[in-house]
Amino acid sequence: MAQVSTERTRTADAALRARARSVMPAGMYGHLSVNLLPAEYPQFYDHAEGCHVWDVDGNEYVDLMCSFGPIILGHRHPAVEQAANAQLARGDTMSGPGRVMVELAELFVDRVDHADWAMFAKNGTVATTLWLPIARAATGRNRVLAASGAYHGAAPWCTIKLDGVTPEDRANNFYYTFTDLGSVERAFQEAGPEQVAAVFVSPFRHDAGHDQEMTDPDFARGLRALCDRYGAALVIDEVRAGFRIVHGGTWEPFGVRPDLSAWSKAIANGYPLGAVLGNDAMRVGAERIFATGSFWFQSVPMAASVATITALREENAVERMEAAGQMLRDGLADQASSHGIQIRQTGPVQMPNLSFVGDTHFERAMVFAAAAAEGGALIHPRHNWFLSAAHEADDIKRVLEATDVAFAAVRRRDVRD
């Protein structure tokens, strides 16, 4: 295992940031922008292997961000790379899909309970935005309900920033509060139940900047019942959590099947792919709409996806992420209490979220993330982290060495203030 360098320079990163500032908006945009992160956090990376990443200055980190979710088996997983390379040697962006598209659709239909069909695109936002026309075409209705504050992507109908968005872009949105069934009922009444095409929901609350909130199975079942009563489609955003919590749909253990679901991130271990899955009731909607993209039929990401989904089950990925995540959670809890710092750890252990009690402006979280990065652990101050099946006990030990120093830095800051 490569050693973490103790002296971290950032000159190459700084030079690239300066060049980017003159030729790119704000030097970087979206959730990968490090403008809101500590200075110690790298923006540019050189290479990655397993659960390790190296920035452009050669600093190594144990990667607990996993590219914000896409890396689930570890960077450059051999079986995935082999499948992708074999497909690349035959062709990628061809004048139509390869046979692998049908194989992949069959695999999704086999692995995800509610799915009778699959269609593919790129990115989570495209998958979540495809819900709307499909549900509308299937139900003949226009309005949709979504949880306030939930992240479903960067399209005008759902983006978290309102600059550049018109009220008309969101004229058909009505909002409820996650896990409050009464608020869903009220949102149905406000929208007019006979006008609601779909209810969008996250498998659990994972909004950035908030503690995570697990789903009460009764909420999931109640939501299904309300959708059935009013004839609306139940639609789950699996983009972030898909395949990390269970091998299949995240609400399957509750016995709740959605009508549609959107997937991306982890389904191809880093290769660009999104998917919409649906049941037979929604098939007619998917058949009626016009949906396409120049790169949607690339075969390489689909070959990577078949290999990823196959390896996820063969390698017991969920259990391994749980084991590593539990070790991390227990270690962090012990460290926080020995440093006398109050923290909250929320959400599933394989998608950890750590916040500091009373840290409204994320000041402690920033000190913590900065010191962790200096110690060679890449974590985020206000977004959940991600485990992969490549995280072994030794890697978690190294993360915990970094976080022990990071808690001490938080403590020093608290004493100083």
Distance of alpha carbon 8 from alpha carbon 195, whole angstroms: 57
According to the binding rule CB under 6 A, does residue 215 interact with ligand PMP?
Answer: no
Q: Which stretch binds ligand PMP (CB under 6 A): 50-58, 124-132, 250-258, 317-325?
A: 124-132
E strand or H helix at 260: strand 260-263
Pick from 32, 64, 70, 121: which is nearest to 239 by CA? 70
Residue 214 CB, nearest approach to ligand PMP (Å): 15
In the complex with ligand PMP, the residue whose CB is nearer, 193 or 272, is: 272
In the complex with ligand PMP, the residue whose CB is nearer, 125 or 305, is: 125
Residue 383 CB, nearest approach to ligand PMP (Å): 9
User: Contact with ligand PMP (CB under 6 A): which of 48, 184, 239, 409?
Assistant: 239
Quote the Cα angle for 100-101-106, to 5°.
Answer: 95
In the complex with ligand PMP, the residue whose CB is nearer, 13 or 238, is: 238
Pick from 263, 295, 316, 203: which is nearest to 69 by CA? 263
User: Contact with ligand PMP (CB under 6 A): which of 240, 329, 380, 391?
Assistant: 240
**Sheet order of strands, 143-147 included:** 117-121, 274-278, 260-263, 233-237, 196-201, 143-147, 173-176
According to the binding rule CB under 6 A, does residue 244 interact with ligand PMP?
Answer: no
User: Contact with ligand PMP (CB under 6 A): which of 50, 98, 124, 301?
Assistant: 124
Distance of alpha carbon 95 from alpha carbon 103, whole angstroms: 18
Q: Which residues contact 394 (CB under 8 A, 6 or more apart)?
A: 1
In the complex with ligand PMP, the residue whose CB is nearer, 57 or 207, is: 207
According to the binding rule CB under 6 A, does residue 159 interact with ligand PMP?
Answer: no
* Residues 256 to 275 in contact with ligand PMP, rule: CB under 6 A: 264
In the complex with ligand PMP, the residue whose CB is nearer, 59 or 125, is: 125
In the complex with ligand PMP, the residue whose CB is nearer, 61 or 200, is: 200
In the complex with ligand PMP, the residue whose CB is nearer, 128 or 298, is: 128
According to the binding rule CB under 6 A, does residue 187 interact with ligand PMP?
Answer: no
Distance of alpha carbon 371 from alpha carbon 51, whole angstroms: 19
Task: For the beta carbon of residue 90, count every other beta carbon within 10 angstroms.
Answer: 12
According to the binding rule CB under 6 A, does residue 207 interact with ligand PMP?
Answer: no
Residue 10 CB, nearest approach to ligand PMP (Å): 26
According to the binding rule CB under 6 A, does residue 346 interact with ligand PMP?
Answer: no
Distance of alpha carbon 229 from alpha carbon 320, whole angstroms: 40
User: Contact with ligand PMP (CB under 6 A): which of 108, 151, 157, 368?
Assistant: 151
Distance of alpha carbon 282 from alpha carbon 149, whole angstroms: 26
Q: Say if CB 133 and CB 289 are below 8 A apart.
A: yes
Give the three-state DSSP class for 198: strand
Residue 73 CB, nearest approach to ligand PMP (Å): 18
Give the three-state DSSP class for 320: helix
Interface residues toward ligand PMP, by CB under 6 A? 68, 123-125, 128, 151-154, 202, 237, 239-240, 264
